[in-house]
Amino acid sequence: MTPGARVAAAIEILGDMADGLAAEQALTRWARRSRFAGSKDRAAIRDHVFDVLRCRRTAAHYGQGDTPRALMIGVLHQQGAKLDDLFTGDGHAAAPLSDHERMFPDPPTDQAMTWNLPDWLIPAFVSSLGETADQVAIALQDRAPVFLRVNSLRTSREQARASLAAEGVDTADNPLCDTALTVIDGARKIRNSNAYLQGHVELQDAASQAVVAALPAAGRVLDYCAGGGGKALAMAADPDRKIFAHDIDPRRMADLPGRAERAGAEIKTLTTEQTVQSEKFDVVLCDAPCSGSGAWRRAAEGKWTLSADQLARLNQTQDDILDKAAALTSSGGLLAYATCSVLRAENEDRVEAFLARHPRWSMTYSRRFDLGPDGDGFYTAHLTQD
Residue 78 in this model has a pLDDT that exceeds 90: yes
Choosing from 77, 108, 139, the residue where a domain stops is: 108
Choosing from 156, 172, 203, the residue where a domain stops is: 203
Same domain, 181 and 322: no
- Do the Cβ atoms of 182 and 374 come closer than 8 Å? yes
Choosing from 157, 173, 203, the residue where a domain stops is: 203
Same domain, 29 and 58: yes
Percent of the chain at pLDDT exceeding 70? 100
CATH code for position 266: 3.40.50.150
Average pLDDT rounded to a whole number, residues 122-129: 96
Same domain, 163 and 277: no
Residue 335 in this model has a pLDDT that exceeds 90: yes
Looking at the DSSP bridge assignments, the partners of residue 285 are: 223, 336
Same domain, 305 and 360: yes
Same domain, 180 and 226: no
Same domain, 181 and 232: no
pLDDT recorded at residue 91: 87
Q: Is residue 95 part of a domain?
A: yes
200 backbone dihedrals φ, ψ, rounded to 5°: -80, -30
Q: Is residue 120 part of a domain?
A: no
Same domain, 38 and 153: no
pLDDT recorded at residue 217: 84
Q: Is residue 21 part of a domain?
A: yes
Angle at the Cα of 359 from the Cα atoms of 358 and 363, rounded to 5 degrees: 85
State pLDDT tens for residues 350-376.
Answer: 999 999 999 999 999 999 999 999 999
pLDDT level of residue 144 (50, 70, 90 thresholds): very high
Same domain, 334 and 241: yes
Give CA–CA dist 221/216, Å, rounded.
Answer: 9
375 backbone dihedrals φ, ψ, rounded to 5°: 175, 170
State pLDDT tens for residues 188-211.
Answer: 999 999 999 999 999 999 999 999
The size of the chain, in residues, is: 386
Candidates 246, 249, 176; CA nearest to 213 is 176
**What HEC string does the chain produce?**
CCHHHHHHHHHHHHHHHHCCCCHHHHHHHHHHCCCCCCHHHHHHHHHHHHHHHHCHHHHHHHHCCCCHHHHHHHHHHHCCCCHHHHCCCCCCCCCCCCCCCCCCCCCCCCHHHHHCCCCCHHHHHHHHHHHHHHHHHHHCCCCCCCEEEECCCCCCHHHHHHHHHHCCCEEEECCCCCCEEEEEECHHHHHHCHHHHCCCEEECCHHHHHHHHCCCCCEEEEECCCCCCHHHHHHHCCCCEEEEEECCCHHHHCCHHHHHHHHCCCEEEECHHHHHHCCCEEEEEEECCCCCHHHCCCCCHHHHHCCHHHHHHHHHHHHHHHHHHHCCEEEEEEEEEEECCCCHHHCHHHHHHHHHHCCCEEEEEEEEECCECCECCEEEEEEEEC
pLDDT recorded at residue 258: 94
State pLDDT tens for residues 248-298.
Answer: 999 999 999 999 999 999 999 999 999 999 999 999 999 999 999 999 999
Q: Is residue 270 part of a domain?
A: yes
Q: Is residue 251 part of a domain?
A: yes
Same domain, 240 and 156: no
Q: Is residue 236 part of a domain?
A: yes
Q: Is residue 91 part of a domain?
A: yes
Same domain, 191 and 277: no
Residue 35 in this model has a pLDDT that exceeds 90: no
CATH code for position 158: 3.30.70.1170
| Burial grade of 32 (CB within 10 A; 0-12, 13-18, 19 or more) | exposed
- Do the Cβ atoms of 191 and 164 come closer than 8 Å? no
Q: Is residue 113 part of a domain?
A: no
Average pLDDT rounded to a whole number, residues 144-148: 97
Give CA–CA dist 169/118, Å, rounded.
Answer: 37
153 backbone dihedrals φ, ψ, rounded to 5°: -75, -20
Which residues have C-beta within 8 Å of that of residue 196, sequence separation ≥ 6? 190, 202
Same domain, 166 and 224: no
Residue 116 in this model has a pLDDT that exceeds 90: yes
In our burial notation (b when 16+ CB lie closer than 10 A, e otherwise), range 369-380 reads bbbeebbbbbbb
What's the domain range around 177?
A: 147-203
What is the count of structural domains for the chain? 3
Same domain, 227 and 167: no
Looking at the DSSP bridge assignments, the partners of residue 338 are: 287, 380
